[in-house]
């Protein structure tokens, strides 16, 4: 399997090189040069657990790693989870919920980032290299990425987050990790500012190669690949095609579901559920992708106006026409808007936006009806699912442990229910962070001063 850029300037990339490259050197995102049809495997794969399904699926995309090594990395990644099945489907009234938050940092990002940490270590040890990871987080990616690479001698990680715009517990999960290779940067700006800084730094190819920069955000193909597995797994637990309702910010999670469908897994519709930052809901309704002002909500991981994985979807929607993708993204970069001639109609994606009040109401309603406690991001998906009651069966993606957002959850439920011992233990621990302006030069200078190996 080889990989190419959505913008056409990079191709023929092997999997291990794709892991290290992260963002393609032409500014695009790496995707497989072709997608295998795996539908013939479905009968045999239905009986597999999550980890065994990962071992069966991933070799199609990582064929430059011996299967025995890849299987070992998968086992090591998922041994860190609190439940042996890694992910599970739970009832929440009349909804099915796919719980993805049983990893070390209690967020769905662990499913991908525990594996990505193993892959980084494997490739770097093989090559005798050192990697400096730079990433932006709107909440959970940062702590999950840090958990995946903390203490590793061949990796330094620099995580940018919007100062004061992630939950207190999310920040503690990052800043209380005081390993020498971990650097938490509180940026005076929004998540989009953080993400733009990271993309600008990666676009400076001399700087990228000099400091051997790698990406841990969902621009890294390996993250999307790992996420495909849980859509595949969940879809095989039902006797009919499954519809997924996905709380969506950066589009990486729902895009993994889109690819799982393209691979032949029994998936029907994918509902893109945004919060009040509704750039994606507006695009699927109108065909116009237009940047707006960031609104800060109960669901900070979705307070995003530029969805970094949306470009991958466009690549497939445009029939793998890299030139058309590049032109669309250039229009958006220069004007803040880019449009199709009509709303997209691929027969797969539905979309809707959910307000803050609707999110809180969904948390309370589901709790009163079933006793299930949902975090705000999951509740966005639940609220959206109610609007598509013609779709059945529906699986809502549960992205985070509700105890990460105690103020919102407890207020919506009317009881003090949002607790987790691992999170409670963070309070009062030593923490470390550095505050920086939303400035590319300031972040570059910080990286230059802190890297342990060029």
Write out pLDDT tens, residues 133-146.
Answer: 999 998 788 999 99
Sign of CA dihedral 432, 437, 442, 443: positive
Are 448 and 213 spatial neighbours (Cβ–Cβ below 8 Å)? no
For 241, the token pair is 């095609």
In angstroms, the CA 101 to CA 104 distance is: 8
In angstroms, the CA 56 to CA 229 distance is: 10
For 100, the token pair is 């993805």
Q: What is the DSSP letter of 39?
A: G
pLDDT tens for each residue of 244-282: 999 999 999 999 999 999 999 999 999 999 999 999 999
- Domains within the chain, CATH numbers bracketed: 88-106+221-417 (3.40.50.1100)
The one catalytic residue among 2, 16, 47, 109: 109
Q: Other C-beta atoms within 10 Å of 335: how many?
A: 10
Residue with tokens 């070992």: 72
Please give the pLDDT value at position 217. 82
Are 169 and 145 spatial neighbours (Cβ–Cβ below 8 Å)? no
Q: Which of 166, 139, 194, 136 is nearest to 439 (CA)?
A: 194
Mark whether 261 is an active-site residue. no
Classify burial at 391, counting beta carbons within 10 Å of its beta carbon; exposed 0-12, middle 13-18, buried 19 or more. middle
Average pLDDT, the chain: 95
Please give the pLDDT value at position 140. 82
Low-confidence ranges of the chain (pLDDT < 50): 454
pTM listed for this prediction? 0.94
């Amino acid at each position: 399997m080889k990989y190419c850029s959505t913008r056409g300037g990079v191709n023929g990339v092997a999997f291990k090189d794709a892991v290290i490259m992260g963002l393609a050197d032409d500014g695009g995102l790496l995707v497989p040069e072709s997608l295998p049809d795996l539908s013939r495997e479905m009968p045999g794969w239905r009986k597999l657990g999550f980890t065994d399904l990962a071992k069966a699926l991933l070799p199609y995309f990582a064929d430059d790693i011996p299967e025995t090594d890849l299987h070992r990395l998968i086992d090591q990644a998922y041994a860190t989870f609190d439940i042996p099945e890694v992910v599970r489907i739970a009832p929440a009234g009349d909804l099915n919920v796919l719980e993805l938050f049983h990893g070390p940092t209690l967020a769905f990002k662990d499913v991908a980032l525990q594996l990505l940490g193993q892959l980084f270590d494997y490739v770097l040890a093989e090559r005798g290299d050192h990697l400096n990871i730079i990433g932006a987080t709107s909440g959970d990616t940062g702590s999950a990425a840090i958990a995946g690479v903390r203490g590793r001698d061949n990796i330094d990680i620099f995580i940018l987050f919007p100062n004061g715009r992630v939950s207190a517990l999310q920040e503690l999960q990052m800043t209380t990790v005081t390993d020498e290779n971990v650097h938490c940067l509180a940026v005076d700006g929004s998540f989009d500012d953080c993400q733009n800084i990271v993309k600008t730094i990666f676009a400076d190819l001399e700087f990228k190669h000099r400091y051997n920069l790698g990406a841990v955000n969902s621009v890294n193909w390996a993250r999307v690949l790992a996420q495909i597995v849980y859509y595949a797994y969940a879809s095989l637990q039902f006797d009919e095609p499954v519809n997924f309702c996905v709380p969506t910010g950066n589009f990486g999670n729902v895009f993994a579901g889109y690819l799982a469908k393209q691979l032949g897994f029994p998936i029907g519709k994918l509902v893109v559920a945004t919060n009040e930052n509704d750039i994606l809901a507006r695009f699927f309704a109108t065909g116009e992708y237009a940047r707006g002002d960031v609104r800060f909500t109960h669901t900070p991981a979705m307070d995003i106006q530029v969805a970094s994985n949306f470009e991958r979807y466009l690549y497939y929607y445009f029939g793998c026409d890299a030139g058309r993708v590049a032109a669309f993204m250039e229009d958006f970069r220069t004007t803040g808007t880019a449009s199709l001639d009509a709303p997209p109609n691929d027969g797969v994606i539905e979309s809707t936006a959910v307000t803050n009040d609707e999110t809180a109401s969904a948390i309370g309603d589901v709790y009163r009806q079933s006793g299930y406690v949902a975090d705000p991001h999951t509740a966005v998906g639940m609220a959206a699912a109610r609007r598509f009651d013609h779709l059945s069966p529906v699986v809502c993606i549960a992205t985070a442990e509700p105890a990460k957002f105690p103020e919102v959850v407890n207020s919506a439920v009317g009881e003090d229910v949002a607790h987790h011992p691992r999170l409670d233990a963070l309070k009062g621990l030593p923490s470390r962070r550095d505050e920086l302006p939303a400035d590319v030069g300031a972040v570059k200078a910080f990286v230059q001063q802190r890297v342990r190996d060029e």
